[in-house]
A and B are shown apart, each in its own frame.
Chain A
Amino acid sequence: MRWLQTISNWLRSLFLRNTTEHELSDEMRFHLEQQIEENIAAGMTPQEARRAATREFGGVEQVKEECRDTRRVNFLDNLLKDIRYGLRMLRKSPSFTFFAVAVLALGIAANSAIFSIADAVLIRALPYRDSNRLVMVWEDSSAYGFPKDTPAAGNFYDWKSRNQVFEDVAALPYGGSFNLTGEGTPEELSGKRVTANIFSVLGVRPALGRDFRPEDDVPGAPHVAILSHGLWIRRFGADPQIVGKQISLDHEKCTIIGVMSRGVQFPDRETELWVPARFTKEQLANHGNHFLQVVARLKPGVSLKTANANLATIAKQLEGEHPDSNAKVGTFAVPLREELAGDVRPAILMLVGAVCFVLLIACANVANLLLSRATGRRRELAMRLALGATRGRVIQQMLTESILLALFAGAVGLLLSVWGTQFLAALIPNGIAPVTGAGVDSRVLLFTLIVSLATGILFGVIPASRVSQFHLAFSLKQGGGQSGVGSGGHRLRDVLVICEVALAIILLAGAALMIRSLQNLYHLDPGFRADHVLVMRTPLPRQKYEAFAPRVAFYDQVLAKVEALPGVIAAGYTTWVPLTNSGGATGITVEGKPEPAPGNVLIPNTRIISRDYIRALRMRLVEGRLFESRDAGGTLPVALVNQTMAKNYWAGENPIDKKFKVGGYKEKSPWITVIGIVGDVHQAGLDVAARPEMYLPYQQQDFGFEPEYLAVRTSGDPIAIAEIVRQQIWSVDKEQPVAGVMPLEDLVDENLASRKMQASLLSGFAALALLLVTLGIYAVLSFAVTQRTQEIGVRVALGAQPRDVLRMIFSQGFKLFLIGAASGLAAALALSRALQHLLFGVSAYDPASFAGVTILLAAVALLACYVPARRATRVDPLIALRYE
């Protein structure tokens, strides 16, 4: 407990300053008086007694000071003094303070905002127990064009039973939606079928009710469901008695057994409920149907590498056991965090780099300002040194000022960043809990504090260390003259400006490359026209539309009614509109080609469509014909193929009238005739090249894929027609849920949203850098002009023309720009390779981008030079010389 006492003593001396001072004086006085009394008792006169006592005691003030020292209040005392003095200095030059705080606040705000995003996406633990032990397991079917394939249930089952590296393995079929009917409006919910162990693998428990049990997860078991916290509140009014109640899901009675704890959003934010997957024995033995997501928990101490080695061994075994389905199929695990962060990770790292640069530029700027201020204050500082202040003490005072500035800026920056974070939240991927907008996270607070302190030290230490170096006598002698810090100071300021220019070039080059990528994507022909197209989803309840005929009838009727609507140009059904599914593929055999060896099966993407789908999306017909009314059920099976499929599967031949079938030669499926070739469509994303793809009419046979997306091309605003289309669907089946109603253009925008965001953020930061650099160059040159007024005056007096003066100042400024630009370009070229990932259709060394930003910065630098240069030409030699 001794340290507690020590601290309380320390705090007492610090905060009860007056009391302790009094006590100290009283103590000294008591001693003296005691001594005096003793002296009197020894026979001295009172006067003699006092004199003797005082002499014996020595310097009272020195003793007091030593006592204070032992209490270690001096350092803090000085600090308080420095802070008070610093505040006064900042108040005395409000424009400097405002400018410095503003510049730094912008830099700090950018850092805090980006940090809060980076923290959420890359650093903070996921809301699962020991989340760093969670991985997702994928199949590697690169041989078939799917380097990261959704695993087959049979493979999942074998991994689960054979592995030695996982505590447990859970699976959930890809996709998933449920029609919630009964009370209230019918609604399509995004939900997941999951194996019963999913929550125990994740390490989370329901907030209400119970978890799934193995007996819930067998075919034929009573239907049960666990609600997400969000759905419980949204749809069921947070009913505390919800457990045990029944709801109707896809027309089946289903008992709610639990409500998951808040914050669990697995595998994504949209998921609102979970039901047992209830895999059948047949499904768990099927190795060819790939439709799962698999999540596993590593045993403690097992590394990812060990896990992957074990999985590879099992994959090899399976290849031997099931050559038809598993030839050339590998297996690998990816940490869950990496999986959820996805492609956002490089973008966020890029932005982290960018904001660091912005902050460095801001620091350089403020350091420059401080340097010129320091020049103005050299007499004050020289005086302090002359009066006996140690250099350390002077540096402490200078640093206190700069840290004060930085802390102010940090406070302002924090406010800005709260606002900025909400804007940036769109960067957070779907599977990760979003940053809560309200209130400031303590981690962000701490980060901002640390950044502010570091910033203050960084930009403060340069001027402070310089100040402590200068020659005392020299400075005092120079008196109130105009002369500056001497050549050393100039050089330092020049270096700072050069660094600023270099950093700005890097940022500008990055932004230019990102913008070019975005432009390329916008100008890219995706193979369809997204304008004036309305899309919506009508997932048919399995129970009700088990048979093929009612399904066909549903599509026939809906399409006939929608096509008849005024303002509708074409309407079509498809399994997936572009940008909604990168896969959805089927193995086929091409007539006349040898049966492919295992591992070489052709697996084109499969789209089951209606007659006018191609027209509704304005896809291009390259050769042959599109589907017509005659391609109905019971007629010759036909198909359209895309250009990639035509080129890859019938190299050097004309695929029209060629035949293929689903499955191998032995398969009972009918031969399908190719009747036309359509242009490639970017299905997986605007920046992803097309795979081989075939289109089949929905009436001809049941492929196991059902059309779900209705696409309607309109003459007017597509949204205007949404309500009428929905009414037409309900006139066919009044219980049919309709979901995801939106213009196709929104899907395209969504697909580009994160790129757009990245490009605009980087551009914003680059613009900020540009502004700061302009100010930096301007500040340095105008300071230089002030410094050189006498010199310029002499030159003009000796006959220099304004042109000469202009050239002199320009060349000084431009020299800095050139050095900065050259080093910046070199650094940018080295760094832009890291951007390659984020670029599209533009090289990381794109000369046009690099030249462009150099010219832009050069123009701005010229402008920044011009104003001070003009001022230099107006120097009146008489006035200038009189200063001397």
Chain B
Amino acid sequence: MTKPTDLVQGTLDLLILKTIALEPMHGWAIAQRIRRVSKNVLQVNQGALYPALHRLEQQAWIQAKWGESENNRRAKYYSLTRAGQKYLQAEESNWERLSSAIGLVLKTV
């Protein structure tokens, strides 16, 4: 089965973690938010989003809680665990190093 995703897996994880770092969110909202914030550049496919969420939950970077959505429906809200916060920081600085490195190469060569 092919994975319908335009994003590298690690990148998707990073985006998810960063997005829910502000407040607990359900899957739909996460996808919406990433799309909005990236000005429609990053379209997160559900087929990639949910497995990623479940994987992160399984690895205990994030935790889930059932709560009421804005329109009074039961929704699964994801938030960072303490380990997840640290993981996010580490991954962020990793990403920055990597992107600036790539930027350097692209500029120079």
Q: Mark B17-36, 1 if CB is under 8 A from A, else 0.
A: 00000000011100000000
Interface residues of B in 77-93 (CB under 8 A from A): 81, 83
Do residues B59 and A6 form an inter-chain contact, with CB atoms below 8 A?
yes
Closest to A9 in B: B58
**Contact assessment for B47 and A58 in the assembled complex, using a CB-CB cutoff below 8 Å:** yes
Q: Which of A34, A59, A71, A72 has the most CB of B within 10 A?
A: A34
A27 contacts which chain B residues (CB < 8 A)? 26-27, 50, 75-76
* 8 Å CB interface, B56-109 against A: 57-60, 63, 66, 69, 71, 73-76, 81, 83
CA distance A23 to B64 in the complex (A): 11
B1 and A63 contacting across the interface, CB-CB below 8 Å: no
Interface status of A213 (Cβ within 8 A of chain B) = no
With beta carbons under 8 angstroms apart, the residue of A6, A9, A34, A66 that contacts B50 is A66
* A2 pairs with B60, CB closer than 8 A: yes
Contact of A35 with B4 in the complex, beta carbons under 8 Å: no
* Residues 20-44 of A contacting B (Cβ, < 8 Å): 23, 26-28, 30-31, 33-35, 37
Contact of B54 among A5, A33, A34, A67 (CB under 8 A): A67
- When chains A and B are docked, how far (Å) is the Cα of A86 from the Cα of B36? 53
Interface residue A62 (Cβ < 8 Å from any Cβ of B): yes
What number of residue pairs across chains A and B have CB atoms under 8 A from each other?
74
CB of B11 within 8 A of chain A? no
From residue A826, how far is it (CB to closest CB) to chain B in Å? Answer: 56
Point out the residue from B28, B55, B60, B74 that lies within 8 Å of A5, measured CB to CB: B60
Pair A69/B76 contact, Cβ less than 8 Å: no
A33 touches B51 (CB 8 A): no
For A28, the closest partner residue in chain B by CB is B50
Q: Is B71 touching A67 in the complex (CB atoms < 8 A)?
A: no
| Assembly CA distance A9 to B57 (angstroms) | 8
Flag if A31 contacts B60 (CB, 8 Å): no
B45 near A: Cβ within 8 Å? yes
Chain B residues closer than 8 Å to A67, beta-carbon distance: 50-51, 54
Asked if B40 lies at the interface with its beta carbon under 8 angstroms from chain A, I say no
Query: A650 at interface (Cβ–Cβ under 8 A)?
Result: no
Complex contact B75–A6 (CB within 8 A)? no
* Chain B residues whose C-beta falls within 8 Å of the C-beta of A10 in the assembled complex: 58
A9 touches B60 (CB 8 A): yes
Q: Are A30 and B75 in contact (CB under 8 A)?
A: yes
Residue from the list A13, A23, A57 in contact with B46, Cβ < 8 A = A57
In the complex, what distance in Å separates the CA atom of A6 from the CA atom of B56?
10
A241 within 8 A of B: no
Residue interface bits A1-18, CB-to-B below 8 A is 1, else 0: 111011001100100000
The reply to whether B81 and A5 form a contact with Cβ atoms under 8 Å apart is: yes
Interface mask (A64-78 → B, CB under 8 Å = 1, otherwise 0): 001101111000000
- Given the interface pairs A26-B74, A27-B27, the reply to whether A63 lies near B47 with Cβ below 8 Å is yes
How far, in angstroms, from A23 to B50 measured CA to CA in the complex? 12
Docked Cα-Cα span, A1 to B61, in Å, equals: 11
Asked if B47 and A37 sit within 8 Å, CB to CB, the answer is: no
Q: Given contacts A30-B73, A67-B54, is CB(A62)–CB(B47) below 8 Å?
A: yes
Nearest-neighbour CB distance to chain B for A235, whole angstroms, equals: 63
The complex places the Cα of A69 from the Cα of B58 at a distance, in Å, of: 11
Q: Which of chain B's residues have a CB closer than 8 A to the CB of A1?
A: 83
Cβ contacts under 8 Å, B4 to chain A: 58
State the Cβ distance, B68 to closest chain A Cβ, in Å.
11
Q: What residues on A are CB-neighbors of B46 within 8 Å?
A: 31, 56-58, 63
B28 A34 Cβ-Cβ under 8 A: yes
A499 to B91 Cα, complex, angstroms: 59
Interface 0/1 of A375-388, CB less than 8 Å to B: 00000000000000
Residue of B whose beta carbon sits closest to that of A8: B60
Contacts of B57 in A (CB 8 A): 9
- Kindly state the separation between the CA atoms of A500 and B62 in the bound complex, as whole angstroms: 57
B27 contact set on A, CB distance < 8 A: 27, 30-31
Nearest CB to that of B87 among chain A residues? A2
Rounded to whole angstroms, the CA-CA distance of A540 and B50 in the bound complex is 92
Q: Which A residues are in CB contact (< 8 Å) with B60?
A: 2-3, 5-6, 9
Cβ distance B55 to chain A, nearest Cβ, rounded Å: 4
Chain A positions 494-527 with a Cβ under 8 Å from a chain B Cβ: none
Please pick, from A2, A35, A59, the residue contacting B28 in the complex, using a CB distance under 8 A.
Answer: A35
> Chain A: which residue is nearest B81 at the CB level?
A5
Chain A positions within 8 Å of B73 at CB level: 30, 33-34
C-alpha gap A66/B27 in the complex (Å): 15
Determine the distance from Cα of A62 to Cα of B3 in the docked complex, in whole angstroms.
10
A26→B76 contact, CB < 8 A: yes
Residues of chain A with a CB closer than 8 A to B55's CB: 70
Flag if A30 contacts B76 (CB, 8 Å).
Answer: yes
**Bound: A5/B59 CA distance, A:** 8
**CB-based contact B28/A71 at 8 Å:** no
Tell me, in angstroms, the Cα distance from A35 to B81 when the chains sit together.
28
Question: A2 and B83 in contact (CB under 8 A), knowing A30-B76, A66-B50?
Answer: yes
Query: How far is it, in angstroms, between the C-alpha of A71 and the C-alpha of B55 when the chains are bound?
Result: 7
Given contacts A26-B74, A31-B27, A70-B54, 10 further A-B pairs with CB under 8 A are A1-B83, A2-B60, A2-B81, A2-B83, A6-B58, A23-B66, A33-B73, A34-B73, A62-B47, A63-B51
List, sorted by A's number, 9 A–B pairs whose CB atoms are closer than 8 Å. Answer: A1-B83, A23-B76, A27-B50, A30-B26, A31-B27, A33-B73, A34-B69, A35-B28, A70-B58
CB-CB nearest 4 A-B residue pairs:
A5-B60, A70-B55, A66-B51, A34-B28
Taking Cβ atoms with an 8 Å cutoff, the residues of B that contact A are 1, 4, 26-28, 45-47, 50-51, 54-55, 57-60, 63, 66, 69, 71, 73-76, 81, 83
